[in-house]
Amino acid sequence: MRVLLVYPPDPDTFWSFKHVLRVVSKRATFPPLGLLTVAAMLPPDWELRLVDCNVRRLKDADLAWADYVFLSGMIVHQQAVRGIIERCRQHRKPIIAGGPLFTTGHEQFADIDHFVLGEAELLIPQLIADMEAGTVRRFYRSDQRPDMRHVPVPRWDLIQLRHYVTMPVQFSRGCPFDCEFCDIIVMNGRVPRSKEPVQLIAELEALRRAGWKDMVFVVDDNFIGDRRRTKSLLRELIAWRERTRHGMGFLTEASVNLADDPEMCRLMVEAGFKKVFVGIETPLPESLQECHKLQNRGRDLAESVKELQRAGLEVMGGFIVGFDHDRLDVFKQQFEFIQRSGVVTAMVGLLQALPQTRLYQRLMREGRLESSATGNNTEAVLNFKTRLNREFLQNGYRELMRKLYEPKVYYQRIRTFLENHRPQGPRVRLGSADLRAFLKSFWLLGIRERGRHFYWKFFWSVLLRRPRQFRHAIELAIMGYHFRRVASRL
């Protein structure tokens, strides 16, 4: 059996980092972990080929070779997916589709023959049997949540690691919170399920043996969803680092209440965690109550961010505008909070009602749902009737994005972060790609870009006053170029 696993190209979003990939000599931010994991569940005697369209184009020869095409993607990929579907139809290749895009929105793809809906681990054995018998069903789904202890090590051999900035691994699925706009709990549930620490160590060992030496993204829905098991993993991870003397660094996603657990923060930093993405959403308590982001209420959010920074973690923040309880000064509030807290990587988006979420269902009941979500929160698109004027929200969003990432403002935010941040834990290695990116940044930010005056002022002030943080500062400066490009096209 020949199976072609295809992942669509990313559009221009926050997470794509497209505008800085050339600077760091890479082709994509990270590979498709879901497809690599599914590949590890398929029979060892099957022939597999993975095409990540962010790394290379899908060729006619790839399609001619395949018996089946496994297609995955996120909601943000829906437009690119349709082009891939058409090419498969032209070559008369059957598609088996899975992943978030199809789990919550398969109804939009009537021209796909087969779907794996939800988590694949319990469904793959029957799918394999049906493929071998030539009796593949239209739908494969299960109401049960798979045991993460049975998830195999991803097939890293199907990709060329050198093309990627970061490698993804997953320790747990599920989040104990119930944010109204979030589709994670729709797909993975509210009871966190995790692997055994030894499993994740085995995945990291596989990456180490394959030659990976750089950052690893632990892509959990909420890394601290089950604190006891997470701390157990971190202790094993610290011991693994001591045994191997390896220089991998880590980033992950967690809820803001991580700031309430100094022991967790200490263990994360000792294990090599450098960054954490936190859903801050909004500084307005009424809007937090509305979307049921209760873990963010009743606290000084800016102080929580600074607690994490002082612990040695860079906080990347997610922010949302467009809640019913947002006030006319919401953009001013968001801007001042982001600047004051030093959240350099501030991923701000307009609210979208994603399929099957509680927000989607509520807006449908209220007769306010107008269209499908694009999944790209960096577009000035709202798919429902808003309380505040739509044009006000869209124009305010565009202005906020451009203001946040103009050079003078952006470099000032990095300075605020550096003042709060206390670098700790093992150092991440400095590779040849990092040195090339550093040199390229001179041309890109210091000569070509219109904000070059602010860049050089920032460059010399950090080098002279904070030399230990200089590398981190230049990395953030380079990332700012991507965000400015994203903001400029809004």
CA quadruple 166, 167, 169, 174: dihedral sign = positive
Whether residue 80 has pLDDT greater than 80? yes
In a domain, 254, yes or no: yes
Is 113 in the same domain as 186?
Answer: no
Long-range contacts: 111-116, Cβ < 8 Å, 24+?
Answer: 111/85, 112/71, 112/85, 113/138, 114/138, 114/139, 114/140, 115/139, 115/140, 115/141, 116/140, 116/141
Domain assignment present for residue 152? The answer is no
Q: At what angle do helices 470-488 and 432-443 cross, to 10 degrees?
A: 60
Q: Is 55 in the same domain as 96?
A: yes
Q: Are 261 and 379 part of one and the same domain?
A: yes
Residue 432 pLDDT exceeds 80 = no
Question: Count of domains in the chain?
Answer: 3
Q: At 374, which CATH number?
A: 3.20.20.70
Output the CA angle 287-290-293, nearest 5 degrees.
Answer: 80
**Domain of 49: which CATH number?**
3.40.50.280
The answer to whether residues 47 and 82 belong to one domain is: yes
Does residue 203 share a domain with residue 130?
no
Residue 104, in any domain of the structure: yes
Does residue 425 lie in a domain region? no
In sequence order, the β-bridge partners of residue 425 are none
My answer on whether 105 and 56 are in the same domain is: yes
Report the greatest alpha carbon distance in the chain.
68
Same domain for 410 and 437, yes or no, is no
Tell me the residue range of the domain where 65 lies.
Answer: 2-141
Averaged pLDDT for residues 319-339: 98
Q: Is residue 214 part of a domain?
A: yes
Task: Determine, yes or no, domain membership for 135.
Answer: yes
For residues 254 and 371, state if they share a domain.
Answer: yes
Show the CA angle centred on residue 208, arms to residues 207 and 213, nearest 5°.
Answer: 100
Q: How buried is 76 (Cβ within 10 angstroms: 0-12 exposed, 13-18 middle, 19+ buried)?
A: buried
User: Same domain for 187 and 297?
Assistant: yes
Q: Share the mean pLDDT of the chain.
A: 96
**pLDDT at site 428:** 79
Based on the domain organization, do 464 and 389 belong to the same domain?
no
- pLDDT at position 266 over 80: yes
Same domain for 210 and 358? yes
Residues 153-179: pLDDT tens digits? 999 999 999 999 999 999 999 999 999
Same domain, 347 and 297: yes
Instruction: Give per-residue pLDDT as tens, 103-134.
Output: 999 999 999 999 999 999 999 999 999 999 99
Residue 146 maps to a domain: no
* Letter string b/e over residues 236-245, b meaning 16 or more CB atoms within 10 A of that residue's CB: bbbebbeeee
